[in-house]
Structure 1
Amino acid sequence: MEIRIRNMNHSTVKKIDEIAKSKGMSRQQFLWNLLENYASSEKLQEMKVHWDEELKKQNQILMENLKMTREIYEVMFYAESE
């Protein structure tokens, strides 16, 4: 797929060219990498949000299990001491 960007400020294009040159890349290679990395980082951010939500759910389940375990322990402990 091809992307074209028109009417860019000359100084912006010049800066992009300087950065690309300093990295030993063409403008196209540099912009391709930049866009690919940006798109990937967006996907990673979406995944992070998803896994953060899953982690919260799992943490809640663990806290509920801990509470139940403590209650069972207390019942067993008090039953033995009587």
Structure 2
Amino acid sequence: MLFTPKRARRSAAPFRGKTVNPRVGPPNEKRTKQGENMNIMVRGIDPAAVKKIDELAKKQNISRNQFLASLINNYAALEEFKSYQSQYETVIKQCLQVIQQNSHIEERLLRYLESEDNEDTQKSVL
């Protein structure tokens, strides 16, 4: 569908009079879609490090770019995993505290019930 100037003006209304190119989107809109690959350029890398990266990539039969992309993606996933792991450990500690409290209360209740049984038994003997 082609956008005519009339349609473009209508689509620009929500952006307070700013002109919007319908093919680009509103100002400050994130223009990358979920799953879309992005490029990163890195400067100032030690040549020895680049050589080592090339060797590691060659061992895996992949390109330097594939190796580095995999490395970056894995690092990002690892950081997210660490966050989940920390949350999990917090929940486990809370559960352990509740279990310990329940065990303590259960022991006290058991002792109380046993003492009641003993008193009832002694009264029935008399």
Give the letter aligned to residue 110 of structure 2. Answer: Y
1:57-78 Cα deviation digits (max 9, x unpaired)? 0100011101111111111100
Give the letter aligned to residue 106 of structure 2. Answer: T
SS at 1:71 equivalent: helix
User: 4+ residue runs of structure 1 moved beyond 4 angstroms?
Assistant: none
SS at 1:73 equivalent: helix
| Rg larger for | 2
Q: Which residue of 2 aligns with 1:67?
A: 104
Percentage identity across paired residues of the two chains: 30
Q: In structure 1, how many angstroms separate the alpha carbons of the residues matched to 2:92 and 2:47?
A: 47
Q: In structure 2, how many angstroms separate the alpha carbons of the residues matched to 1:7 and 1:45?
A: 29
How far off is 1:41 after superposition? 0.9
Structure 2 unaligned residues grouped into runs of 5+? 1-37, 120-126
TM-score of the pair, normalised by structure 1: 0.94
Instruction: Give the number of aligned pairs.
Output: 82
Q: Which residue of 1 aligns with 2:10?
A: none
Q: Which residue of 2 aligns with 1:9?
A: 46
Q: In structure 2, how many angstroms separate the alpha carbons of the residues matched to 1:9 and 1:49?
A: 34
1:25-64 Cα deviation digits (max 9, x unpaired)? 0000000111111111111111111111111001000111
TM-score of the pair, normalised by structure 2: 0.63
Structure with bigger RCO (C-alpha 8 Å, 6+ apart): 1
How far off is 1:7 after superposition? 2.0
CA RMSD, Structure 1 to Structure 2 (Å): 0.8
Q: Which residue of 1 aligns with 2:80?
A: 43
**Greater share of helix:** 1
Q: Which of 58, 61, 64 pairs up with 1:24? A: 61
